[in-house]
């Protein structure tokens, strides 16, 4: 288990909450307990044994989307508050404290390999041994399998030899909920299947899967012995190499929502825009905040399951930043789910691209 970096945590606990304007959970709740520095103060008190674990403390420390909005203005370049909060939460397991609301999700993970229950989306497909392994992710499978279909069609149109496996959840939700052991088990199972597939490139459309494979698997000693590529970069590559040739799109006015992980962890803000610029007929209008300054949709850290009301309020706040008549396009199943509120049309990048190819 990763140690909490006490010096960085205290830098944050002693900060006047400079980034509070960019913390979505604080902005929708108004609660000091979930302000960035507020959470750091609680975490520091836990570390110093001035506070004991109980449900309200765990709930407050869990109120972090890992959206990294706080990093936009944070003067401490070494600090990753969401990671420090995660590391703090992982220590709670020993005391048996957890969010009761996620108990069924944890059982689902154990029983079905997905927090949503029985997997509905496509399972193993394509040719075993094919170079490219497309990893769909449990959230797309459960909520928006149309994006997986679109990705498959695109890969076929581009003539890519690809396969899909009977994947398990990448492990990220389990860790977010404080169960690193379960996360590691899921990772080990996935790793076994991925190695067994014989693929040399793993493409994932879900930013959380991407971050988990690239950042957490090494921590859990489950390094993947193949290249992991994010969906936007991979499909852009196919476009640039002429394997995909888009024609005029039926969509005109589009506004791209940068998912936090692609924008701030992977720094992938140009790739999706380049894809959109290569589709004839599309006019992209930016929302109020975009690129690395994007604002979370409310779906980070599994909030749609853990804190559904907060997630919805954050999504509403984010939606107000988009031109009313634009189709919102994103590249993350959580963002899509969150932003899909009444009166708004929300699609994923792969679907927009597939429709024009």
Partner 1 sequence: MTDQIRAVLQESRVEQVEIDRYAEEVSALIGTEKVSNNHIDILSTCRDYWPVSSIWMLEGAVPALPQLVVWPQTTEEVSQILALAHERRIPVIPYGEGSGALGGVVPLKGGIMIDMKRMNRIRELDHENLLVTVECGLNGALYEEQLNRSGYTGGHFPQSLRCSTVGGWLACRAAGQFSTRYGKIEDMVVAAEAVLADGTVFRERSVPRTATGPRVDHLFIGSEGVLGVITTATLRIWPLPEKRHLASYTFEKLEDGLEAIRMFMRAGARPAVVRLYDAQETGNHFPELGDKRCALILLIEGAAAIVNGEKDVIEECVSARNAEDTGPEHVKHWLETRFNISAASRLLQKGAVLDTIEVTTNWHNAYSTYSAMQEALKDVEGTMLASGHWSHVYPEGAALYITVVGFPGDDKIVYYKNIWQSAMTACLAEGAAISHHHGIGLHRGQWMAEEHGKGLDVLGRIKNALDPHGIMNPGKLGLGEVRKWQK
- State the residues that interact with ligand SF4 by CB under 6 A: 11-12, 15, 17-19, 22-25, 36-37, 40, 64-70, 73-74, 76, 79, 81-82
Sites for partner 1 among residues 275-304 (CB under 8 A): 288
In b/e form, how buried is each residue of 174-190, taking b as 16+ CB within 10 angstroms?
bbbbbbbebbbbbbebb
What distance in Å separates the CA atoms of residue 99 and residue 319, rounded to the nearest whole number?
28
Least distance from partner 1 to the Cβ atom of residue 30, Å: 3
CA-based end-to-end distance of the chain:
46
Which range of residues in 49-57, 165-173, 207-215, 230-238 is near partner 1 by CB under 8 A?
49-57
Cα angle for residues 136, 314, 289 (degrees, 5° grid): 85
10 binds partner 1 (CB under 8 A): yes
**For residues 3 and 50, which CB has a smaller minimum distance to partner 1 in the complex?**
50
Opening angle at CA 355, ends 131 and 311, nearest 5: 85
CB of 7 to partner 1, least distance (A): 7
* Contacted entry of partner 1, ligand SF4, none for residue 41, CB cut-off 5 to 8 Å set by kind: partner 1
Residue 2 DSSP one-character state: P
**Distance separating alpha carbons of residues 11 and 15, to the nearest angstrom:** 6
- Restricting to residues 70-109, which ones interact with partner 1 according to CB under 8 A? 73, 75-76
Question: In the set 5, 17, 214, 243, which binds partner 1 (CB under 8 A)?
Answer: 17
> Which residue's CB is nearer to partner 1, number 44 or number 105?
44
| Shortest CB 307 distance to partner 1, Å | 13
The radius of gyration of the chain's CA atoms, rounded to the nearest angstrom, is 20
Q: Which of 314, 305, 241, 273 is nearest to 34 (CA)?
A: 314
Residue 65 or residue 353: which is nearer to ligand SF4 going by CB?
65
Residue 51 gets which letter from DSSP? S
Site for partner 1, rule CB under 8 A:
7, 10-22, 26-27, 30-33, 35, 38, 41-42, 44-45, 48, 50-52, 54, 56-57, 59-60, 73, 75-76, 288
């Amino acid at each position: 288990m990763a140690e909490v970096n006490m010096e960085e945590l205290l830098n944050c606990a002693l900060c006047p909450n400079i980034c509070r304007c960019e913390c979505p959970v604080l902005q929708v709740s108004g609660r000091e307990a979930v302000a960035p520095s507020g959470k750091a103060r609680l975490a520091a008190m836990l570390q110093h044994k001035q506070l004991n674990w109980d449900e309200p403390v765990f709930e407050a420390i869990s109120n972090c989307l890992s959206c990294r909005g706080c990093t936009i203005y944070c003067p401490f370049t070494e600090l990753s508050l969401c990671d420090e909060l995660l590391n703090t939460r992982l220590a709670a397991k020993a005391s048996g404290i957890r969010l009761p609301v996620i108990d069924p999700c944890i059982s689902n993970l154990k029983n079905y390999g997905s927090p949503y229950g029985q997997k509905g989306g496509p399972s193993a497909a394509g040719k075993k041994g094919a170079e490219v392994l497309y990893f769909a992710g449990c959230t797309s499978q459960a909520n928006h399998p149309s994006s997986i279909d679109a990705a498959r069609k695109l890969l076929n149109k581009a003539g890519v030899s690809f396969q899909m496996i009977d994947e398990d959840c990448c492990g990220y939700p389990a860790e977010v909920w404080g169960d690193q052991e379960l996360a590691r088990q899921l990772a080990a199972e996935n790793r076994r299947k991925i190695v067994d597939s014989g693929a040399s490139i793993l493409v994932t459309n879900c930013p959380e899967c991407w971050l988990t494979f690239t950042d957490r698997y090494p921590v859990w000693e489950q390094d993947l012995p193949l290249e992991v590529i994010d969906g936007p970069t991979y499909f852009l590559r196919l476009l640039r190499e002429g394997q995909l040739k888009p024609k005029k799109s039926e969509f005109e006015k589009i506004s791209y929502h940068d998912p936090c992980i692609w924008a701030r962890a992977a720094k992938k803000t140009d790739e999706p825009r380049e894809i959109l610029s290569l589709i004839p007929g599309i006019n992209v209008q930016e929302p109020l905040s975009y690129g690395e300054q994007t604002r979370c949709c409310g779906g980070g850290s599994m909030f749609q399951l853990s804190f559904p009301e907060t997630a919805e309020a954050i999504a509403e706040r984010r939606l107000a930043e988009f031109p009313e008549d634009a189709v919102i396009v994103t590249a993350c199943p959580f963002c899509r789910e969150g932003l899909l509120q009444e009166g708004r049309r929300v699609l994923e990048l792969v679907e927009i691209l597939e429709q024009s190819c």
